[in-house]
Amino acid sequence: MAADIKNLDESTFDETIGSSETPVLVDFWAEWCGPCKMIAPILEEIATEEQGLSIAKVNVDESPDLARRYGIMSIPALILFQNGEPAKTMVGAKPKSALLEELGEFL
């Protein structure tokens, strides 16, 4: 995993999301999820290229309470947090261009 992407769980999530000065895109994923594996390298590219955006991952199998808290029903689910609050939700794997287009207003 790229050094630019943080792994979060119940013990680190709130502090990391709440203290970030930049928007944080959180990828809710699981090891067994094929589309999650497809989107992972795209997120690594974005993490490297976009300085005004932080990217984090939450494994839903390891942190089910976080998945429940944000109503994650399908994965991959991406939630963009701004100022500690959810600002945009996207579900499913998308090409890089589509992700960047959806995130455009926050970058």
Active-site residue flag, 36: yes
Q: Which of 54, 49, 32, 30 is nearest to 96 (CA)?
A: 49
Active-site residue flag, 22: no
Of the residues 5, 33, 56, 60, which is catalytic?
Answer: 33
Residue type, 104: G
Of the residues 36, 47, 53, 103, which is catalytic?
Answer: 36
Q: Give the residue numbers annotated as catalytic, written as ranges.
A: 33, 36
